Amino acid sequence: MSSPSPSSSLAQVRQARLDKIQRLREMGLNPYPSRASRTHFCADILERFEEIEGQKVTVAGRLMSWRKHGALSFGHVQDQTGRVQLYVRRDTLLPTDAAENRLGYEHLNLLDVGDIVEAEGEVVRTERGEISVKAERIRLLTKSIRPLPEKWHGIQDREIILRKRYLDVTHNPEQLKRYELISRMVFEVRRFLDARGFLEFQTPVIQPQYGGGTARPFTTHVNALDCDMYLAISHELYLKRLIAAGFDRVYTVGRYFRNEGIDRTHHPEFSMVETMTAYADYTFNMDLIEELFRHLATHVFGRTTFNVAGHAIDFGQPWRRVSMADAVLEATGVDFRNITSPDEANARLREMGLTEEQPTVGHAMAYAFEEKAAPGLIGPALVYGHPVEISPLAKPMAEDPRFAERFEIFIAGMECGDNWSEQNDPVTLLERWKQARDLAGADPEEHHPLDYDFIEVLEHGIPPTTGIGPGIERMAMIFLELENIDDIIFFPLMKPVVSPVNRAIYGIEERPGLPSRLPAVTLDPESFSQLVRDDVFRPLAKTILVRPHLQVWAQGAPRKAWHATVSYEIGGLLDHNRLVVTGPTLTAQSEEEFERLCEAATENGANGFAETLKEKFRGCRVEFAPVSREHAPRVAQEG
């Protein structure tokens, strides 16, 4: 066998390591065994050194460094708890043994930094004073064939950190610790609620209506039911159904999906713990949320004061509780409780320098609060008693029905949660819902569709109920003192990419990409064929992909007519634009006829110019993608 060529592009480094695997196999060793026999974690050995010095232990983990020094070698093994040094001597390491998958000293060059290894030996302190495992046996557990990032600087490129978090975390144990804390935080949320008699439930992520909040949903299609559905924007309405069923304290640690912007504090997919408590009002939740934060601070993070956006926030003290009217009075000197007309309220706003006209006294007070009082609430503070005009889903207060049984959490001037006594009067709720829909039109950020099934639940009756929904990531950002949600979410959402290096290594063929938001160049089939014959197009890839597309704009009822337009998207000829070739418009009187026409049009139409493509570009494959179909949005189902 020829020695590996001395070179080091990634592909060549990888090949050198694959060659080592080959040599291991020839020696009868398994580069990917399944059995490991760790007895101690690294941190145990370091922390309990006095106790276990001289004992024989087995550690296992990733080999993070390797320093060969003639008949003596040193390295570090890293596991979930930390790193411990391996101290290896030629004269005391047992020789290679295939049955034990063991490597002797002369074969240690088959190991690489990054491999997963196991070492058995005595716990000692080296002459230089480092606590180490003096290895008698070294076993390879997993051969790594990709090099780790630079050992001193690690990964600096933010994009690679986010895309390959596992590499960043491998290099930075403090990052590993951070994600461990987030995991422990969720565990403690469960323990906290469990201790208070709450039961955890799984609620559906795929929902037929996107109720329980106002946000743009992700849409999906359930094939088995042939039905469009939505990913949960909230789990609230299902928790209330559980209350209707007779459970009095329920919660879910749920996944929430909102098809909206991504920024420092927002991510399309996130988690919340959402509770629902029967036979309690919003004051119960004011206590609950305060205790929850205090519990997490002390039990997970071991302290009560945290630096949030430059402010020292102490969760150990009782939180300030202030009515919104009092908060505004304090900040502006105006008591909106004494104001009776919108005109007067707007006059007061103008005196404060707030010029946006407000429709009601309640709106005016909320506006003044948001602009003048909220930024000063360093807190943590609980602001209660919102105007009913802006609280359609909350119950009005019995003692003053102008204000709702509702509170918001403020930490360092930021709103961190919204909670209320749930409106359980089905008639009132249905009215409010319809009003909101009429006001907002079709914007899902302003209202959500009517969920008659849920109204029916309320008609059967649910007890007085109240819930909280603190966000997992938001809480983690506060407790970990981080301002970027990407530092909390281990796998942030990013556009998929394939690096040129991986393309080469794995032999991934460059597929004609069809990103839909590129501007389109549209041609009729005759012009297109002519341009192909005139050598206007040059293929950019080995495959030219033809993707037939059906835009269905009428389907059956109410007029018993079927209409669709056919088009063909051609991938692999244009780089910065989509290339679209138009097709026929189909009209049919029955579903069977329509399906027949669709089939014929997508095949025959494509073949018309496909023949030209095949003739002209003989070196390329002309492939057909499955037909995609788009239905025009259904109009006015209701009313």
Binding site for RNA (CB under 7 A): 3-10, 12-13, 16, 65-72, 74, 85, 87, 89-91, 109, 112-113, 126-130, 132, 147-160, 162, 261, 263-264, 483-484, 486, 492, 494-495, 497, 500-501, 503, 515, 518, 575-576
CA distance 170 to 164: 10
Nearer to RNA by C-beta: 133 or 324?
133
DSSP state of 483: -
Choose among 622, 494, 499: nearest CA to 570. Answer: 622
Closest approach of RNA to the CB of residue 1, in Å: 12
Q: Return all residues near 102 (Cβ < 8 A) that are at least 6 apart.
A: 94, 95, 96, 137, 138, 139
CA distance 396 to 387: 9
CB 550 within 8 A of CB 581: no
Closest approach of RNA to the CB of residue 570, in Å: 18
CA distance 341 to 488: 47
Nearer to RNA by C-beta: 196 or 266?
266
Nearer to RNA by C-beta: 216 or 437?
216
Would you mind telling me the total number of residues written for the chain in this entry? 639
Nearer to RNA by C-beta: 309 or 554?
309
Nearer to RNA by C-beta: 5 or 340?
5
CA distance 619 to 326: 78
Nearer to RNA by C-beta: 159 or 425?
159
Closest approach of RNA to the CB of residue 367, in Å: 15
Closest approach of RNA to the CB of residue 179, in Å: 18
- Give the DSSP H/E element, type plus range, for residue 280: none
Strand partners, 122: 56, 134
Structural tokens at position 446: 């302003």
3-state DSSP assignment of residue 589:
coil
Q: Return all residues near 639 (Cβ < 8 A) that are at least 6 apart.
A: none
Nearer to RNA by C-beta: 5 or 338?
5
Nearer to RNA by C-beta: 16 or 429?
16
**Would you call the peptide bond into 380 cis, given omega within 30 degrees of 0 as the criterion?**
yes
CA distance 348 to 370: 15
Closest approach of RNA to the CB of residue 110, in Å: 9
Closest approach of RNA to the CB of residue 96, in Å: 17
Residue with tokens 């998929």: 496
3-state DSSP assignment of residue 337:
helix
- Give the DSSP H/E element, type plus range, for residue 84: strand 82-89
How many Cβ atoms are within 10 Å of 60's Cβ, its own excluded? 20
Closest approach of RNA to the CB of residue 205, in Å: 24
Closest approach of RNA to the CB of residue 150, in Å: 3
Nearer to RNA by C-beta: 36 or 494?
494
Closest approach of RNA to the CB of residue 243, in Å: 37
Nearer to RNA by C-beta: 206 or 494?
494
Closest approach of RNA to the CB of residue 484, in Å: 5
One-letter amino acid of 91: D
DSSP state of 223: G
3-state DSSP assignment of residue 300:
helix
Nearer to RNA by C-beta: 108 or 329?
108
Strands 578-588 and 621-624: unpaired
Nearer to RNA by C-beta: 497 or 557?
497
Closest approach of RNA to the CB of residue 152, in Å: 4
Closest approach of RNA to the CB of residue 79, in Å: 17
Q: What DSSP string runs through 306-348? A: EEETTEEEESSSPPEEEEHHHHHHHHHS--GGG--SHHHHHHH
Nearer to RNA by C-beta: 246 or 353?
353
The strands making up 219-222's β-sheet, listed across from edge to edge, are 206-207, 227-231, 219-222
Residue 568: C-alpha distances to residues 32, 522, 531, 550, 607 (Å): 48, 10, 16, 9, 11
CA distance 59 to 357: 69
Closest approach of RNA to the CB of residue 416, in Å: 18
How distant is the alpha carbon of residue 55 from its chain centre? 45
Closest approach of RNA to the CB of residue 113, in Å: 5
Q: Return all residues near 529 (Cβ < 8 A) that are at least 6 apart.
A: 608, 609, 612
3-state DSSP assignment of residue 168:
helix
The full 3-state SS of 46-67, as one line of letters, equals HHCHHHHCCCEEEEEEEEEEEE
Nearer to RNA by C-beta: 67 or 533?
67
